[in-house]
Amino acid sequence: MKGIIFVGGIQYSGKSSFCKKLESVDKKFRHIAMDDAYWHLGYNREVFLNIIKKDNRDLFKKIMKLGKKCNVEGKENIMTLFANYMIHEDRYSEFQTLHKRCALLYTGSRISNLDDVVPLMDGLMINHISRKFTYCALKDSLNYKIDLDKLKKLIVFFDIGLEKSLLRYKSNTRQNNPHIEINEKIITETYHSQSLPSKDEFPNLDVLVINNEADIHSSIKYVLDSNFS
């Protein structure tokens, strides 16, 4: 892996389109939508539970103990039971955080063996807290031969404004991911919680902020002219 590019910003700001454009220009870039991993674990709860087992053995034991207590068998069913338990206990936000971490761990394991590829990590990463959460989870899951701190890194952050993102959302004709709730209120709340990235957030990091179409073209040129390609 030659480096890694994080593409962040609120929903419907143009992140995926940017990744697909860059991917079409140079095949060394690989679009990795982090929402896809979140969706995958939502549908494949046995995989979800296996990741928990590897990442947090104590939590895994507690989940399996819950299944035994309720006479539930099968990892898929036990994981569903655990999700419902967390909702019942008013701890669903904890479950969502766990889901996000496991999705990132799953993503990290997928990209670890991509030789001569620059992953385009497409996700919200709207503020320092969420970017640090993403970075740490990836660092924990990458192949031991890959030192994330030493890799060349770039954050491309889309800050096109709330109005444009809401307009794109309203005109969207694609079916939304059923495991990811999204509406105008969520987009607005996400926008108001965002903060621009800075170069000192992670080692060997560069930052590009996208405000308009012209920035997109110049950013693609910057990436292609850099050591990433």
Residue ranges with strand state E in the chain: 3-9, 29-33, 118-122, 152-158, 205-210
Alpha carbon 109 to chain centroid, angstroms: 13
**Numbers of helices and strands, H then E, in the chain:** 10, 5
Q: Average pLDDT, whole number, for the chain?
A: 91
pLDDT at 145: 78
Domains, in order of start, for the chain: 3-225 (3.40.50.300)
Question: Percentage of residues in the chain with pLDDT exceeding 70?
Answer: 96
Distance CA 85, CA 16 (A): 34
- CA-nearest of 223, 221, 214, 196 to 14 is 214
Q: Please, which contacts does 189-195 make with residues 24 or more away whose CB atoms are closer than 8 Å? A: 190/10, 190/11, 190/124, 190/126, 191/10, 191/162, 191/165, 193/126, 193/127, 194/9, 194/10, 194/126, 194/127, 194/159, 195/126, 195/127, 195/128
- Say what the pTM is: 0.88
**When comparing pLDDT for 70 and 42, which is higher?**
70
pLDDT at 1: 77
Tokens at 92, concatenated:
């669903």
Distance CA 72, CA 58 (A): 19
pLDDT at 176: 61
- On the question of pLDDT at 161 being above 60, the answer is yes
- On the question of pLDDT at 229 being above 60, the answer is no
The CA–CA distances, whole Å, from 63 to 51, 83, 140 equal 13, 10, 22
**When comparing pLDDT for 179 and 194, which is higher?**
194
**CA Rg value for the chain:** 19
pLDDT at 114: 81
pLDDT at 181: 74
pLDDT at 225: 87
Handedness of CA 35, 39, 44, 50 (dihedral sign): positive
- CA-nearest of 15, 4, 25, 26 to 157 is 15
* Mean pLDDT calculated for residue range 138-145: 85
pLDDT at 178: 59
* Mean pLDDT calculated for residue range 87-101: 95
Q: What is the largest CA-CA distance in the chain?
A: 59
- On the question of pLDDT at 144 being above 80, the answer is no
Cα within 13 Å of Cα(189), Cβ side = 6
